[in-house]
Each structure stands twice: as structure tokens, then as C-alpha cells.
Chain A
Amino acid sequence: MKDILLKVQAAQKLSSEEPEQAELFLRSALKDAEALGQSSATLHLQLAELLYRLRRTRQALEEVFVVLELDPFNLTAVKLYQTLGRRLRSEATAAERSVS
């Protein structure tokens, strides 16, 4: 558990300057947690926020789904879900426009 928390702390520190590295730490922490039979809505939410900032909208949405599965009352996740939905729609509209 301590090792996982250290990875989460490292991810938090790296998230603004080195988001790609932060992602690696977070995914590793999630994998370790899973091996221990632990699931953490907050860790998935952290990863979703990171992916959102990296503009990987679909992947972020997948993570938000996991958060809402674990804790459907997490309003931060609900808000991010709505934001991601809007972004996906606007991306789709932009893609349609560029095709036409």
C-alpha cells in the first residue's frame, strides 16, 4: 500500500510538468492496487483528469466510466463526464465540417 501511495504522490507532483510520466506512475499504481484486490475511484479519476488534459478524450471517458461505476455519487467525475461529452461532440462536429 505504501509503494502505491508513493507512486500516486509522484504522479501528482509530475502531473503539470510531465503528464506522460505521471500517467505511467498512475497506471502502475492502479495495476498494483488491482493486484491487491483494491479499486480506487479517486485514482481512476486522477488518470481521467490527466488524459483529459492530454486531449485523449475517449480514454479519459473510459476512466470516468470506471469512476462512476465505483462511486456514482462522485460529483467531480459527473462534471468531468459532462465536459468530456461536450468535447467529444464538438470534436465530432469539427470532423464532420472538415469532411464536408
Chain B
Amino acid sequence: MLTGAKLEALLAKLRRALEERGDAEAAEKLFREVLAEAQRLGVASAYVHYVLSGALDRMGKLEMAFDEIKKAVRADPLALPVRHAFGDVAARLRAALADPERAVDDAAIPRLYTLLVEAGEADLEAHLAMVRFAVATAQLERARALAEAVTTLFPAAREAWEALARVARAQGDVARAVAADAEAVGVGVQAPLFGVTGKAMA
């Protein structure tokens, strides 16, 4: 077990970081110093990554918070509080990516999208935001490949087919656009799950 004056000094620094209320940047610096020292000592501290992630999240540094919480999960994958925090930060990241206020060609989109994809946390909205970005930045081939993949991943999502139709149309592929439009209309029709419509007959 790691003991002694060095550990006490690091724990004191960690306490200072946690108690730091007014100066979030100073707290982050202290957390990072503790982490660097922990790494030097060969300790992967899920706890420090977890509390640093919380501090970064409160500061609005969402991408950095996500990075730290991923490290915390890696260090202790069975820790439920860490896993819950991971889910929360990932959800906020998805919301940030799909924010309707965000310009479709915002340079942050591919970065946020990559973070989510690498963590296996991208949802339909995230993929569609990336498709829109690729179209807006004239990367039509990339948009097409992604849109095709999204319709495979989410075949029952009308928005996915509509996105594919838009991309195909932008590429001049009218046949694919029409086919995708037809799929979009098809998935929009909901068949009743139970019962036969019409008058019941004995």
C-alpha cells in the first residue's frame, strides 16, 4: 500500500482541489497534478478521474469531462457511480451535438461525433448531425456512406431514410433518392400491433 509523507501531501492536494469553490481552474490544475503523480507511481485512480470529470463537467468542459470519465470507467469498470456518471456525460454530449442552435457546419461537430462513436455512445441524432455536417461541408461521399450505414443501423427510422434521400439527391442519384423516400414513407406507416381493424364478427 502506498503510504508516507508523499501520499499525505497528495491527499492534501486532492482535498484542496475538492474544496476549491471559487477558482475552478485552480482546482483542475491541482487534480491534474495529483493524476500526474499517481500515474508516475503506477496507480490508475478511478476516483481522481471521476472527481476531475465532475469538476470539468461543472466548468462546461464537456469533452474533457468525457475523456476523464472514460478513464475512470477503464480503471474501475465495475463502479456503478462511475458508470452512471459516464452515461450522464455521454447524454449531455449527445444533446450538445444535436443542439438545434448549433450551425450544421460547426467545426466542433466531427470532434463531438468521433468522441461518441469511439465510446460506442452515438445515437441516431448524433449520426444525423454528422450526415448534415458532411453535406454542409461538401463531403458528399462521406455523407452518403454514413447515411447508408445509418439506414442499416436504424431501418425503422424515417429521419434516416429522409437524410439518405437528401444526400442522394444532392449527389444527383435520383433513383436512390426516390427509393429512400419510399422507404421513409413506408416506415412512417404504423400497422396496428393487435386486433383486426373493422367491425368485429362473431
Using CB atoms and an 8 Å cutoff, list the residues of chain A in contact with chain B: 1, 4-5, 8-9, 12, 29, 33, 38, 40-43, 65, 68-69, 71-76, 78
Across the two chains, which residue of chain A brings its CB closest to B72?
A42
- A33–B77 Cα distance when bound, in Å, is 10
Q: Identify the 9 closest CB pairs spanning chains A and B, nearest first.
A: A42-B79, A40-B78, A74-B47, A72-B2, A73-B45, A69-B1, A71-B45, A73-B48, A42-B76
Whether A73 lies near B14 (C-beta < 8 A) is yes
Interface residue SS majority, chain A: helix
0 or 1 for each of B68-94: is its CB under 8 Å from A? (1 = yes):
000000011111111100000000000
Of B14, B18, B46, the residue contacting A41 (CB under 8 A) is B46
Whether A9 lies near B15 (C-beta < 8 A) is no
Whether A72 lies near B82 (C-beta < 8 A) is no
Whether B38 lies near A73 (C-beta < 8 A) is yes
- A79–B76 Cα distance when bound, in Å, is 20
- A71–B78 Cα distance when bound, in Å, is 14
- A78–B38 Cα distance when bound, in Å, is 16
Q: Is B64 an interface residue (CB 8 A)?
A: no
0 or 1 for each of B1-32: is its CB under 8 Å from A? (1 = yes):
11100010011001100100000000000000
Residues of chain B lying within 8 A (CB to CB) of residue A9: 80
Whether B11 lies near A78 (C-beta < 8 A) is yes
Whether A43 lies near B10 (C-beta < 8 A) is no
Across the two chains, which residue of chain B brings its CB closest to A7?
B78
Across the two chains, which residue of chain B brings its CB closest to A65?
B1
Across the two chains, which residue of chain A brings its CB closest to B3?
A72
Across the two chains, which residue of chain A brings its CB closest to B11?
A78
Q: Is B43 an interface residue (CB 8 A)?
A: yes
- Knowing A42-B46, A42-B76, A78-B11, the reply to whether A72 touches B1 (Cβ < 8 A) is yes
Whether B76 lies near A72 (C-beta < 8 A) is no
Whether B18 lies near A75 (C-beta < 8 A) is yes
Query: Could you write out 22 A-B pairs with CB less than 8 Å apart?
Result: A8-B80, A38-B77, A38-B78, A40-B76, A40-B78, A40-B79, A41-B76, A42-B46, A42-B80, A42-B81, A65-B1, A71-B47, A71-B75, A72-B1, A72-B3, A73-B11, A73-B34, A73-B38, A73-B48, A74-B45, A75-B11, A75-B18
- How close is A31's CB to chain B, nearest CB, in angstroms? 12
Residues of chain B lying within 8 A (CB to CB) of residue A73: 10-11, 14, 34, 38, 43, 45, 47-48
- How close is A79's CB to chain B, nearest CB, in angstroms? 10
- A42–B79 Cα distance when bound, in Å, is 5
Across the two chains, which residue of chain A brings its CB closest to B2?
A72
Instruction: Identify which of residues 56-113 in chain B touch chain A, using a CB-to-CB cut-off of 8 Å.
Output: 75-83
Q: Which has the most chain B C-beta neighbours within 10 Å: A5, A29, A33, A76?
A: A5
